[in-house]
Each structure stands twice: as C-alpha cells, then as structure tokens.
Amino acid sequence: MKRSSSGLNCLLALDKPYGLTSHDVVGKARRLLGERRIGHAGTLDPAATGVLVLGVGQATRLMGMLTLDDKRYEACIAFGTETATDDAEGEVICTAEVPERLAEEAVAAAVVASLVGPCEQVPPAYSAISVDGRRAYDRARAGEEVSLPTRSVTIHEASLLGVERRDGVLVWRCAFHVSKGTYIRSIARDLGRSMGTAAHLCELRRTSSGPIAIDGCLTLDELEQLGASGVLSRALDPVRALAHPSHELNDYEREAVSVGRPFGCRTVVTATGERRSPNEGERISLVDGPKLMGVWEERGGRLACVANFPEGISGVR
C-alpha cells in the first residue's frame, strides 16, 4: 500500500544501531513516521553505530547540500588478524604475531598521535566506491580483484582512549577526527601493517557528522514513541546544519521567493552572529520564522534561487 505524506519537512539525527544498514534505518523511519519521502546523508556500515542524518519530506532535497565534511569516531582496533573487509565482518586473510610493546599504553598513545596530518589512503575493497559503474563491494563479493586508487585524506586529531584484551586479543580504543572520505577501516589495516603485524577494525561509532553530534540524536525507540506528531520537537536546525549565513525574509522578499524572482539583499547573519553583506557566489539560507524557505546564491548583487521549499523546512531556531 502506498504511504501517504505525513506533512513533515525536517532534518533528524538518528543514532543508528548495530546490525542495520543505513537503508534499513530509512525504511524503519518511513514506517514510524508514515512518510515515504525520507533519505539519508553519510552512509554507515551495518556494523557501525552512531550519527546518521535523515531528511524528511522536502528536507530530502538538503541531503546533497549538507557538507558534513568532518567526522568524529570512536573506534576499536584488534591486532593479530587482517580481514578481507578490514573489519570484523570479513574473512581472515592474514594472521601475524603482535609485538609485546604494542600492549604498552605509552607506546600505543604515541603511535596513534603520530597519525595526525594529511595522508594517502587506499579505501577498502569492500566499499561503496563506484568502479566502472559498479560498487567495489559488488565486484569483491563476485570474486573479482578490486584495486582502488589512493585518495588524499586528513586525520585532524587522533588519540588513544585505552588498551585492553578481549578474549586474549589486543585491542586499542581510539578517537579520530577525520576529513570527508576517510575510512577508519583503512586506518586500522594500515596501522597493523606499519607495526609489523596485522589489524582490523572491530568496533566503530560515529560521534559527530559535521556540526551534528551524537547527543542530539534520536534512537529508533524514541522515534517510535514521538511519532509524526511529536518528532518536530527534536528536529535539527536546518540553517545550522547547512552552515550557510541566513537572512530573514520581509514581506516583499517573501513574495519574490515564492515566484523565484531574484532580489537584492544587503545583510546576512553568520553562525557567529556577525551581520554583513553577502559575498559573491555565497549560498544563503532564507528563513521565515521557524522555517527554512530556500537556499539562494549571491550573484552580481542579487540573490538567485538554488532551491525553494514551498512548505518550509521546520526547526530553525
């Protein structure tokens, strides 16, 4: 049976549970909210948990506009084995002795801290990267040899949270702040190799995606309890999520926006509260009270439409 529209237009942050794909979470959200128009930004593997941003209703159109470039994770890295997928879900393809010194917290802390900075990284063969029109993981599962090019990424911060043993296996608990496109699985794999042993990622939790942190996330149980009638109280502020300067519409501008007519704008407000003129080529979030009505761009002294949201996206604070 075709689902009807809930009338909701908002951004939500969910704490994705272990074992579900990002698509599974979207499916559950659709059923719980009675809304077919739901999409997600920033895919998480089934074995990973944490921040997953959903767009509901017209907010699905924001998914491609959210930068969410920097991510923060808490990760557990197990030493002694490397797997085909670089995480605990894959077949073990290599085993190696683990040097005793890696169990020393001072050594582990120094090694993890040394990872900070720009680097070249080879993504996992089992990843969603497209290779000649097919996902790398589809090729890998079909038994094909997958060779992905290196990519430039940046590890902004890296710290050791602890060293422990799990059923005799040495595990490092780490925190990472990384640039968009960084694979923590690859960090784990490469860390093992650089230490003269083998390693894989055995646990991963995304604690933030861009400006959206785990403490602002809903669980699926909370989403079910709130339902469509109560979920707006937990909606994300779309202006903050987009990280664009904003402009509050007056009556004249509201009418111009409704028909997509460019108009001059002298003042925008930045995330820090600074009031200034818009810069050429800069995108501006247009707001009307508690709703985001459009994303427009400064072009030659006038704002021109990039995207309009006739119903308005709720959550502006």
Please say whether the beta carbons of 72 and 156 come within 8 A.
no
Please say whether the beta carbons of 142 and 156 come within 8 A.
no
* 237 in catalytic set: no
Query: For the chain, how far is it from start to end, CA to CA, in angstroms?
Result: 36
Please say whether the beta carbons of 282 and 293 come within 8 A.
no
Cβ partners under 8 Å of residue 147, min gap 6: none
Residue 236 carries which DSSP code?
B
Give φ, ψ of 82 to 5 degrees.
-115, 145
- The helix, strand and coil proportions of the chain, stated in percent and rounded to the nearest 5, come to 25, 40, 35
Pairing of strands 71-79, 81-83: unpaired
**Looking at 15, 45, 86, 87, which residue is catalytic?**
45
Q: Report residue 8 as tokens.
A: 């909701």
CA–CA distance, 20 with 261 (Å, rounded to integer): 44
Q: Report residue 103 as tokens.
A: 């169990």
What residues act catalytically?
45
